[in-house]
Amino acid sequence: MAAGLGAAGLVTGPGRAAHAQARDAVKLLLDWLPTGDYAAYYAGLAQGFFREAGIDLTIERGFGGADTVTKIATGVAEFGIADIGSLMAGRVRTQVPVKAIASIYTRPPHSLFVLAASGIRSFKDLEGKKLAGAPGSSVRVFLPLVLARNNVDIAKIEMIQSEPATMGPLLVSGQVNAVMGFLPNLPRFNGMARQQGGAVNALEFADTLQIYGNVLFASEATIAGKADLVRRFAAALVRSLEFTRDNARTAFAAIQAAVPGLNPEGDFAAMEIATKLMFDSEVARRLPTGSLDAAQVKRTWELLAEAQSLPAAATDPEVFVARGLLPRG
């Protein structure tokens, strides 16, 4: 899969004279398989934003946020996309030398999914029910905090361990009452449920916790040694996010051309949800695209530390962020 995506990741286009002679070959590592919610990166390729920044970009699939964090730290790729919680946990637990450069999801995508006909309308309704989640999932990490803040007794929920690919089938077949995942999964789960005459609803963690989700990040070595490249990449990324917000159909056509087998309806809806996660928040409306608000970074770290029993006060949350690399808004 990665080799195919890499080939699709090279797109010709106009280049700036300053970079026309020698563009930097750069790899962007996602945190999972490319679906509609990753459209912005492919849109940036198709529009020539990265080539104009002097970058020949290859995009590769990931195998989970923690794996992407580790691979960026060890130089497998220059840049990665992952949940900031994976980055923070990696730095604190194993001293992984990576830092966030730009926000992607300014509100958390973490969600639980339930069948519309289940009668589950709130987190409290999960008591006495079966909930499936992947081991190590960032949704599972924050789940106890969300449940506690909604007066839910977690001991009354039966936790079922399952791999991400099995979540939809488990839910629509009725083997469990709820599953964990990121909000852009909702259209895919709904597509499965519609085949049986049903529908799926989401219980969003964003209604309880206002924290960051996915971020763009790099290793400290890349940030220190290739600051100009990091700035050019970040600027192209910001252009890509804003272009996708303003030109949804064109952006989706770009990922459709690069990634075979996408669902025209479901993946387009996933892209729209991702755009909401990027731009529909208080910090996104207040700050330039990609900004990492210091107060929200601090809150994200404090809640992660609480969830994982880490000493929050022992770490300055600014250690997770590289400042001064984004275009000025």
pLDDT in tens, 247-288: 999 999 999 999 999 999 999 999 999 999 999 999 999 999
Burial class (CB in 10 A: 0-12, 13-18, 19+), 236: buried
pLDDT at 21: 62
β-strand 98-103 against 24-29: which pairing, if any? unpaired
Rounded CA separation 129/141 (Å):
19
Give percent of the chain above pLDDT 70.
93
Question: What domains does the chain contain, in order, with CATH numbers?
Answer: 2-107+211-320 (3.40.190.10), 110-207 (3.40.190.10)
Rounded CA separation 39/106 (Å):
17
- The amino acid occupying position 159 is M
pLDDT in tens, 88-122: 999 999 999 999 999 999 999 999 999 999 999 99
Closest to 122 (Cα-Cα) out of 209, 211, 202, 210: 202
Closest to 89 (Cα-Cα) out of 81, 98, 77: 98
β-strand 98-103 against 130-133: which pairing, if any? unpaired
